[in-house]
């Protein structure tokens, strides 16, 4: 992932030094486990840990240099580690293991830690969204369907529904964490032919990972589930971003992204304040969905393993974690600085000349004894005239002899508070979020 969209705490999870550090710890723990089985002398295992190399940039470069010879990254890693430890103790490194035992277990540890960061970021965003929803619980605005005025809602209700979806994303991340927090150290095709199952159990316990049956590799539906959770986060962030982009259009201007001192919206037009955060989030969500597609294709491998998944995962697993983390935090920053314009919301609602109350008028006419179709045609006729002639909808209804309902009934039909009297139901659901 390019640094522009990578936050340091998530980048640290997938750095080369962190990855090799996990590989080394797995190798050392496996050596310790073999001591308990009587296969490795305790003194040699102690020497392996005492003389283990420091995993720094120099070590990473040494592995890369060795890989230029071996054309195999794990074999190169083992060679460099064994050389640092020295003989005879170093010879026990990688005893009974295959590359996937180390690589897959390390991947799962990294993805588990990535999930923890994603869950924390989703929780932090959720708190901001909940506060925004509560603040604007009664901020009346027009609800739109197909981009056209429909009926009144509140900005707080809109935002509360975002919060409920973010909470579902958080649950998906927790499920993904459970799916990937596993390990395997069961040898070349998963049969434990050259490594005792107790080694796997020991290493898994030390790393906080659950041993699972596997072929030579851990089943990739687990990784696909992680990518799905990241893509779902992206989809939710895009849903919010698209809404905010529409609400920031000049013709609407009900909200506006924050604009810091010294910021420029356009290199050519000084008046511009563009929805750049929302647009960036929309764009990155597309990458997350694309990564999911690649991850799904990694599930079907040949027989007990091939490496067609390996090159894909080196890109899509860290990139999806980084992007999902980035868009969660970018959205949080966007919403913390969001400007909301309640007066503009009311003005936009009123711009449709009262037509947003067409349904309660329709229902009032039905209650007065008209058939639904007759009532619908009366309301529709007057609605079209309101649009065409620029006359208030209620005024036209009062002049229509077919509308045989009194003023009090019309008052109730045109009462915005009647339309919003059950908004509390959404906020009751919001209050239940932990």
| H or E segment and range at residue 167 | helix 155-180
The total of other beta-carbon atoms located within 10 Å of residue 280's CB is: 17
* pLDDT at residue number 264: 83
Catalytic residue from among 72, 193, 266, 308 = 266
* pLDDT at residue number 434: 77
In the three-class reduction of DSSP (H, G, I as helix; E, B as strand; rest coil), residue 152 is classed as strand
Catalytic residue from among 11, 72, 94, 146 = 146
Give the residue ranges of DSSP H helices in 37-138. 42-50, 57-70, 73-85, 99-135
Nearest CA to 33 out of 226, 195, 250 is that of: 195
303 is catalytic: no
* pLDDT per residue of the chain (434 residues) written in tens, 0 to 9: 789 999 999 999 999 999 999 999 999 999 999 999 999 999 999 999 999 999 999 999 999 999 999 999 999 999 999 999 999 999 999 999 999 999 999 999 999 999 999 999 999 999 999 999 999 999 999 999 999 999 999 999 999 999 999 999 999 999 999 999 999 999 999 999 999 999 999 999 999 999 999 999 999 999 999 999 999 999 999 999 999 999 999 999 999 999 888 888 877 888 888 899 999 999 999 999 999 999 999 999 999 999 999 999 999 999 999 999 999 999 999 999 999 999 999 999 999 999 999 999 999 999 999 999 999 999 999 999 999 999 999 999 999 999 999 999 999 999 999 999 999 999 999 999 87
* pLDDT at residue number 351: 96
266 is catalytic: yes
Cα within 13 Å of Cα(105), Cβ side? 37
The structure tokens listed for 146 are 């197909």
Q: CA 73 → CA 66, 67, 162, 307, 325, distances in Å?
A: 8, 6, 44, 13, 28
**Beta strands at 255-256 and 339-340: parallel, antiparallel or unpaired:** antiparallel
> Is the backbone peptide bond immediately before 195 cis, with ω within 30 degrees of 0?
no
* Angle made by CA atoms 48, 63, 24, in degrees to the nearest 5: 35
* pLDDT at residue number 244: 97
Dihedral angle at the C-alpha atoms of 355, 356, 358, 363, nearest 10 degrees?
-160
- Structure confidence by residue, pLDDT tens digits, 270-301: 888 889 999 999 999 999 999 999 999 999 99
Query: What is the dihedral sign for C-alpha 205, 208, 209, 210?
Result: positive
277 neighbors 212 (Cβ within 8 angstroms): no
In the three-class reduction of DSSP (H, G, I as helix; E, B as strand; rest coil), residue 151 is classed as strand
The structure tokens listed for 380 are 């529709």
In total, the chain counts a number of residues equal to: 434
Cα within 13 Å of Cα(302), Cβ side? 4
Residue 331 CA to residue 128 CA, distance in Å, equals: 10
Cα within 13 Å of Cα(323), Cβ side? 33
Note every long-range contact of 163-168, with CB atoms under 8 Å and residues 24 or more positions apart, other chains counting.
163/126, 163/129, 163/130, 163/133, 163/430, 163/433, 164/426, 164/429, 164/430, 164/433, 165/236, 165/239, 166/122, 166/125, 166/126, 166/129, 166/236, 167/126, 167/433
**Beta strands at 182-183 and 210-211: parallel, antiparallel or unpaired:** parallel
């Amino acid at each position: 992932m390019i640094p522009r969209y990578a936050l340091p705490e998530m980048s640290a999870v997938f750095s080369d030094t962190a990855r090799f550090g996990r590989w080394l710890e797995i190798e050392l723990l496996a050596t310790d486990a073999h001591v308990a089985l009587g296969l490795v002398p305790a003194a040699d295992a102690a020497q392996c840990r005492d003389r283990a190399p420091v995993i720094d940039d120099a070590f990473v470069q040494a592995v890369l240099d060795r890989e230029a010879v071996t054309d195999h990254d794990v074999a190169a890693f083992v060679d460099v580690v064994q050389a640092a430890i020295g003989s005879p103790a170093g010879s026990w490194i990688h005893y009974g293991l295959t590359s996937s035992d180390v690589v897959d277990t390390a991947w799962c540890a990294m993805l588990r830690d990535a999930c923890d960061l994603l869950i924390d970021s989703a929780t932090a965003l959720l708190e901001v969204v909940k506060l925004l929803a509560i603040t604007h619980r009664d901020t009346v605005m027009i609800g739109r369907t197909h981009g056209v005025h429909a009926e009144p809602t509140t900005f707080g209700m809109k935002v509360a529904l975002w919060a409920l979806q973010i909470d579902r994303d958080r649950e998906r991340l927790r499920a993904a964490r459970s799916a990937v927090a596993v390990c395997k150290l069961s040898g070349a095709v998963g049969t434990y032919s050259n490594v005792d199952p107790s080694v796997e159990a020991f290493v898994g316990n030390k790393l906080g990972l659950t041993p699972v049956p596997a072929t030579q590799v851990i089943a990739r539906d687990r990784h696909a589930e992680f990518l799905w959770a990241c893509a779902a986060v992206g989809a939710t962030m895009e849903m919010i971003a698209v809404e905010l982009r529409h609400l920031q259009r000049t013709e609407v201007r009900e909200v506006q992204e924050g604009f810091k001192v010294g910021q420029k919206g356009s290199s050519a037009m000084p008046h511009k304040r563009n929805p750049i955060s929302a647009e960036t989030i929309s764009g990155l969500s597309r990458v997350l969905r694309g990564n999911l597609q690649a991850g799904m294709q990694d599930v079907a491998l040949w027989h007990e393993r091939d490496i067609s998944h390996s090159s894909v995962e080196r890109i899509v697993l860290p990139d999806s974690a980084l992007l999902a983390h980035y868009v969660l935090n970018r959205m949080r920053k966007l919403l913390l600085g969001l400007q909301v314009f309640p007066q503009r919301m009311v003005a936009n609602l009123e711009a449709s000349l009262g037509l947003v109350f067409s349904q309660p008028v329709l229902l009032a006419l039905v209650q007065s004894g008209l058939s639904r179709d007759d009532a619908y045609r009366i309301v529709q006729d007057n609605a079209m005239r309101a649009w065409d002639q620029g006359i208030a909808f209620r005024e036209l209804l009062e002049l229509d002899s077919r509308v045989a309902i009194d003023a009090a009934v019309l008052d109730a039909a045109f009462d915005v508070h009647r339309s919003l009297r059950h908004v509390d139901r959404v906020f009751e659901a919001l209050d239940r979020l932990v």
